[in-house]
Amino acid sequence: MGEGLLSGLESFGLGGLEGMSLFEEEKKAEEKKEAHVVTEMDFLLEKSEKCPLCDAAFKTLAVKGGKAKLLGTDMDFRPKYEGVDVVKYDVIMCPVCGYTALSRYFPHLLQSQGKKIREKISPTFKGQAKLPEKYNYDEAIDRYKMALVNAIVKEAKPSEKAYICLKSSWLLRSKAEELGEGHADYAKTKAMEAEYTKNAYEGFVTAVSKENFPMCGMDEMTVNLLIGVLAFKTDHFDVASKMIATILQANSANPRLKDKARDLKEEVLNKLKAKG
């Protein structure tokens, strides 16, 4: 009988360890790694926030930076990530006073805006007792509704309200995809998506006539493309065509935006042909 790799350890008083497997621990670690199924919670963390209105310290769910892999975007910029819908986690809501906003706007609250929220939202607001492990689509949509009512009450810029409506439409589209066309709530969900898309379109059209760029983190040509897409989705084909022409003729528009404008032009032409 041949000797093992560790034979002879008995002379050191370690005879009981002579039969140990060389790579057993690595095999066990690999088996454990393979057994783990990635879930949405793997992408999330509890982030500490401080409310600029009432100074309350609280936790909110957020997506870990660089953790989620971007798979692509829709025409209206809805991002699609592998394993998690990051849009669900872009609203921050104070559980004490009810102040709620998209993460990019949450820290920036004017004193006059805070006064309006204290008067109209805080007195009757009921906050969550405990953070869930994750948000389902209905919970996320409700949080966006809180962001929208806060934006209305504090008299936010049209672009902020339009951006909330845009991202709400993304959530509703994702919810509809999760439900499937055969679900009883599918048609209702798609109708709500269309309503938010309509308000996003109207809001951005108003915003470009009143506000300066950048807007919601976007430059002028990007906003023009977004308006063109929203105009197309709401059957304002004249506006869509105008935005497309503006982008294609602009020296400031980068090649990627011009390619997207050409794609949108094809969509508009196809839709018009289908309508006769």
Instruction: Compute the distance between CA of residue 81 and CA of residue 253 in angstroms, rounded to an integer.
Output: 26
Give mean pLDDT, residues 235-239. Answer: 97
User: Which H/E stretch holds residue 81?
Assistant: strand 79-82
Specify burial of residue 37 (Cβ count, 10 A radius: 0-12, 13-18, 19+): exposed
Instruction: Compute the distance between CA of residue 59 and CA of residue 112 in angstroms, rounded to an integer.
Output: 26
Helices (H), 36-123: 111-120
- Assign 10 a pLDDT band (cuts: 50, 70, 90): confident
Identify the DSSP state of 273. H
Six-digit token string for 115:
């006064």
Give tens-digit pLDDT for 147-194: 999 999 999 999 999 999 999 999 999 999 999 999 999 999 999 999
Six-digit token string for 190:
């798609």
Tally of CB atoms within 10 A around 73: 11
Q: For the chain, give the mean pLDDT.
A: 93
- pTM (two decimals): 0.87
Instruction: Compute the distance between CA of residue 227 and CA of residue 235 in angstroms, rounded to an integer.
Output: 12
Give mean pLDDT, residues 249-258. Answer: 95
What pLDDT was estimated at residue 1? 46
Q: Positive or negative, the Cα torsion across 109, 110, 113, 118?
A: positive
Instruction: Compute the distance between CA of residue 191 and CA of residue 61 in angstroms, rounded to an integer.
Output: 28
Give mean pLDDT, residues 228-236. Answer: 98
Cβ-Cβ contacts under 8 Å for 180 (sequence gap 6 or more): 186
Instruction: Compute the distance between CA of residue 237 and CA of residue 273 in angstroms, rounded to an integer.
Output: 12
Which residue's entry shows tokens 């500490």?
48
Instruction: Compute the distance between CA of residue 26 and CA of residue 122 in angstroms, rounded to an integer.
Output: 55
Q: Enumerate the domain spans of the chain.
A: 29-218, 219-276
What pLDDT was estimated at residue 264? 98
